[in-house]
Chain A
Amino acid sequence: MTSPTKNLIGAIAATLALTTAALAEEVRVYNWSDYIDEALLTKFEAETGIKLIYDVFDSNEVLETKLLAGSTGYDVVVPSGTFLSRQITAGVFQKLDRSKLPNLVNVWDDIAKRTAIYDPGNEYSVNYMWGTTGIGYNVGKVKEVLGDDAPTGSLALVFDPKNMEKLAACGVHFLDAPTELIPAALRYLGEDPDSKDPAVLEKARPVLEAVRPFVRKYHNSEYINALANGEICVAFGWSGDVLQARDRAAEANNGIEIAYSIPKEGALMWFDMMAIPADAPNVDGAHKFINFMLDAHNAADASNYVYYANGNKASQEFLVEDVIGDVAIYPPAETVKNLYSTTAYDQKVQRLVTRMWTGIKTGN
Chain B
Amino acid sequence: MNFRRLFLIAVPYSWLLLLFLVPFGIVLKISLSDPALAIPPYVPKFELAQGWAGIKAMFAAFDLENFVYLTEDNLYWKAYISSVQIALLSMVLTLLVGYPIAYGMANASEEWRPTLMMLVILPFWSSFLIRVYAWIGILGQNGYLNQLLQALGIIDEPLVILNTPIAVYIGIVYTYLPFMVLPIYATLEKLDGDLLEAAEDLGCSRIKAFWLITVPLSRPGVIAGCFLVFIPVVGEFVIPSLLGGSRTLMIGKILWDEFFSNRDWPLASAVAVILLLILIIPIVLFQRQQQRQQEAER
- A→B interface (CB under 8 Å): 59, 61-62, 64-65, 67-70, 86, 89-92, 171, 176, 178, 215-218, 229-231, 347, 350-351, 354-355, 357-359, 361-364
Asked whether, in the complex, the Cβ of A90 is within 8 Å of the Cβ of B246, the reply is no
B166 to chain A, nearest CB (A): 15
Stretch from B21-29, B38-46, B57-65, B289-297 at the A interface: B38-46
C-alpha spacing A359/B142, complex, angstroms = 30
Asked whether, in the complex, the Cβ of B261 is within 8 Å of the Cβ of A361, the reply is no
Known: A171-B141, A231-B142, A347-B263. A70 touches B39 (CB 8 A): yes
**Complex contacts, B248 vs chain A, CB 8 Å:** 362
C-alpha spacing A216/B35, complex, angstroms = 34
**Complex contacts, A231 vs chain B, CB 8 Å:** 140-142
Partner of A350 from the list B78, B247, B262 (CB cut-off 8 Å) is B262
Asked whether, in the complex, the Cβ of A68 is within 8 Å of the Cβ of B246, the reply is no
C-alpha spacing A92/B74, complex, angstroms = 35
**Complex contacts, B110 vs chain A, CB 8 Å:** none
Q: Find the B residue at minimum CB distance from A60.
A: B260
9 cross-chain pairs, A with B, having the tightest CB-CB distances, nearest first: A61-B260, A361-B246, A70-B39, A68-B41, A354-B261, A218-B246, A90-B37, A362-B249, A354-B262
Asked whether, in the complex, the Cβ of B40 is within 8 Å of the Cβ of A68, the reply is yes
Per-residue interface assignment for chain B, residues 258 to 295, with 1 indicating a CB less than 8 Å from any chain A CB and 0 otherwise:
01111110000000000000000000000000000000
Asked whether, in the complex, the Cβ of B247 is within 8 Å of the Cβ of A363, the reply is yes
C-alpha spacing A196/B41, complex, angstroms = 22
**Complex contacts, A61 vs chain B, CB 8 Å:** 260-261
Asked whether, in the complex, the Cβ of A350 is within 8 Å of the Cβ of B142, the reply is no
Interface size on B, residues (CB 8 A): 27
Partner of B260 from the list A62, A230, A361, A364 (CB cut-off 8 Å) is A62
Partner of A347 from the list B35, B75, B78 (CB cut-off 8 Å) is B35
Known: A61-B261, A65-B263. A358 touches B75 (CB 8 A): yes
A111 to chain B, nearest CB (A): 26
Asked whether, in the complex, the Cβ of B39 is within 8 Å of the Cβ of A69, the reply is yes
C-alpha spacing A61/B261, complex, angstroms = 6
Known: A216-B163, A364-B249. A91 touches B263 (CB 8 A): no
Asked whether, in the complex, the Cβ of B245 is within 8 Å of the Cβ of A216, the reply is yes
- Whether, in the assembled complex, B47 has its beta carbon less than 8 Å from a beta carbon of chain A, the answer is no
Asked whether, in the complex, the Cβ of A361 is within 8 Å of the Cβ of B75, the reply is no
- Whether, in the assembled complex, B194 has its beta carbon less than 8 Å from a beta carbon of chain A, the answer is no
Q: Find the B residue at minimum CB distance from A347.
A: B35
Partner of A176 from the list B74, B141, B246 (CB cut-off 8 Å) is B246
- B residues 224-261 near A (Cβ < 8 Å) are 245-249, 254, 257, 259-261
Given A86-B37, A176-B246, 13 further pairs, Cβ under 8 A = A62-B260, A64-B263, A65-B263, A68-B263, A90-B37, A215-B246, A218-B246, A351-B262, A357-B261, A358-B75, A361-B247, A364-B74, A364-B78
**Complex contacts, A230 vs chain B, CB 8 Å:** 142
Residue of B245, B246, B249 most packed against chain A (CB within 10 A): B246
- Whether, in the assembled complex, B111 has its beta carbon less than 8 Å from a beta carbon of chain A, the answer is no
- Whether, in the assembled complex, B73 has its beta carbon less than 8 Å from a beta carbon of chain A, the answer is yes
A256 to chain B, nearest CB (A): 11
Known: A217-B163, A358-B257. A90 touches B39 (CB 8 A): yes
C-alpha spacing A81/B286, complex, angstroms = 52
**Complex contacts, A69 vs chain B, CB 8 Å:** 39-40
Asked whether, in the complex, the Cβ of B142 is within 8 Å of the Cβ of A70, the reply is no
- B residues 141-169 near A (Cβ < 8 Å) are 141-142, 163
Known: A86-B37, A90-B39, A92-B39. A65 touches B246 (CB 8 A): no
- B residues 117-135 near A (Cβ < 8 Å) are none
Per-residue interface assignment for chain B, residues 47 to 90, with 1 indicating a CB less than 8 Å from any chain A CB and 0 otherwise:
00000000000000000000000000111001000000000000
**Complex contacts, B247 vs chain A, CB 8 Å:** 361-363
**Complex contacts, A358 vs chain B, CB 8 Å:** 75, 254, 257
Known: A230-B142, A355-B73, A364-B78. A217 touches B245 (CB 8 A): yes
B295 to chain A, nearest CB (A): 45
Q: Find the B residue at minimum CB distance from A361.
A: B246
**Complex contacts, A355 vs chain B, CB 8 Å:** 73, 75
**Complex contacts, B40 vs chain A, CB 8 Å:** 68-70
